[in-house]
Structure 1
């Protein structure tokens, strides 16, 4: 069982990390495609899910650990947590940034209602993230947990592979204008910062998946994140002072990342206490 899990994880990691570069090569053969919406980008997005399906169907992984059972009745509070973590952290970051004079909130007055934008994006992001979370939490995280690795290794491996999968996106597929609206740096630096950022987020996503025993709270949390923080910055609802993005940006800022790490560790503490004899903490 352990050998099979390790073998399949190696296959998964290799194929997933190569998928984006295969898409880049494909786009190099095709001309006159729309920036940010190319066939190669489609390949990059689809291959991880196809890989998981093939491994579960034909390589002995099965479906029992996929996390599709919603467990809504017994885990309802974690659905509530999933809905509000990103809005709460974002509100703290915006308040801190505004008080420090590093974030300008005037865009909320000049643009259409942000709630309409958020709700308009939410359903599409929810559908997209069913497939993403089936890969990153329902498969990758689930298999790492089965190997009984220390928690910090699970966070690090899951976060790094999740982040490294995005490298072709950051270096090639992502329009430069969108990148500069988040962090005005070169693409390599942007990719490195983004990977570190996702490794921080990984703690929160891994722990929510483990404590809920389901991918559905993670799907909800991921969808709220996509519909909330990206349009805030990219669509100009807020403006972050030049040179302060790495500190206070709700997408890639250090403050937000630390808050997500803290939230993840709090959830971990709750999970460990519930799973320990007599409620005692375990060092894992």
Structure 2
């Protein structure tokens, strides 16, 4: 059993890491590919989920671990928490930014932001069934079976999630979006984003583990993409030059620490709940 799990984990990780570069090769062979919406980017996005489903099918593993069941019973609160995490943390970050004069809200307009937010929810819900979800739902329970402790799971899953994004940051993502997040090279952005995604992954992993469902994590990611990305990239806020790495709602150190604390809080709840079940 252990050898089979190790084999499947290695195959899955290799497919995940290579999928983006396969997409890059596809785009290089095709002409007039739209930036940020290419065939290669589509391959990159859907390959991890397809790999998880295919490996589960061919290895005759349990479909339960993929977490497609919403498990509403006893978990509705986690859906609400997932919907509120990014708005609440973002509000805290904006308050800190205004107090320190690191964030300028003079361009902030709540009405248009609400329109952008609501108008992108459905698209981001569908997209985020694929973005990172198979890592939390397929990879996490298999690392648990291999007796990885929580910290090794966070580092492994978060690291693979970050490495999977490298083609996105180096190739797929338009340069204007890169510069709006952090005025630096794509390589530097990639390094910072890998670290950011490892810290963020704790929330997603723990939401999956506490609910045994992918859907709270999909809701969490949907709200993130619909809120903080346009907030920064579309210019609703301005961040003082040089302070982006500290306070940016996307990549800021303060922001990432807050999300890490949220994830660790969910972890603490899960561990206490498991202890009650055991006792």
TM-score (norm 1): 0.94
Give the aligned partner of residue 190 of structure 2: 191
- Superposed, 1:10-159 pairs within 5 Å as 10-109=10-109, 113-132=112-131, 134-159=133-158
**Aligned-partner Cα distance in 2 for 1:120–1:220:** 15
For residue 65 of structure 2, give the secondary structure of its aligned residue in structure 1. Answer: coil
By how many angstroms is 1:134 displaced? 4.2
For residue 73 of structure 2, give the secondary structure of its aligned residue in structure 1. Answer: coil
By how many angstroms is 1:275 displaced? 0.6
**Aligned-partner Cα distance in 1 for 2:128–2:257:** 23
Is the 8 Å Cα contact of residues 107 and 237 (structure 1) preserved in structure 2?
yes
By how many angstroms is 1:103 displaced? 0.6
**Aligned-partner Cα distance in 1 for 2:121–2:145:** 32
User: CA 1:22–1:46 in 2, change beyond 3 Å: closer, same or farther?
Assistant: same
User: CA 1:199–1:134 in 2, change beyond 3 Å: closer, same or farther?
Assistant: closer
Give the aligned partner of residue 4 of structure 1: 4
The farther-off stretch of 266-275 and 63-72 is 63-72
**Aligned-partner Cα distance in 1 for 2:3–2:150:** 20
Give the aligned partner of residue 217 of structure 2: 218
**Aligned-partner Cα distance in 1 for 2:204–2:152:** 14
**Aligned-partner Cα distance in 1 for 2:93–2:236:** 14
**Aligned-partner Cα distance in 2 for 1:233–1:277:** 43
For structure 1, the residue ranges without an aligned partner over 5 or more in a row are none
For residue 113 of structure 1, give the secondary structure of its aligned residue in structure 2. Answer: helix
By how many angstroms is 1:278 displaced? 8.0
Report the count of equivalent residues.
279
Is the 8 Å Cα contact of residues 133 and 218 (structure 1) preserved in structure 2?
no
Is the 8 Å Cα contact of residues 193 and 252 (structure 1) preserved in structure 2?
yes
Q: Structure 1, residues 4-40: CA drift from partner, whole Å, max 9, x if none? A: 1111110011111011111112222222222222221
By how many angstroms is 1:67 displaced? 1.3
**Aligned-partner Cα distance in 2 for 1:151–1:171:** 30
For structure 2, the residue ranges without an aligned partner over 5 or more in a row are none
Is the 8 Å Cα contact of residues 65 and 212 (structure 2) preserved in structure 1?
no
By how many angstroms is 1:119 displaced? 0.7
**Aligned-partner Cα distance in 2 for 1:133–1:243:** 29
Is the 8 Å Cα contact of residues 36 and 175 (structure 1) preserved in structure 2?
yes
**Aligned-partner Cα distance in 2 for 1:238–1:131:** 29
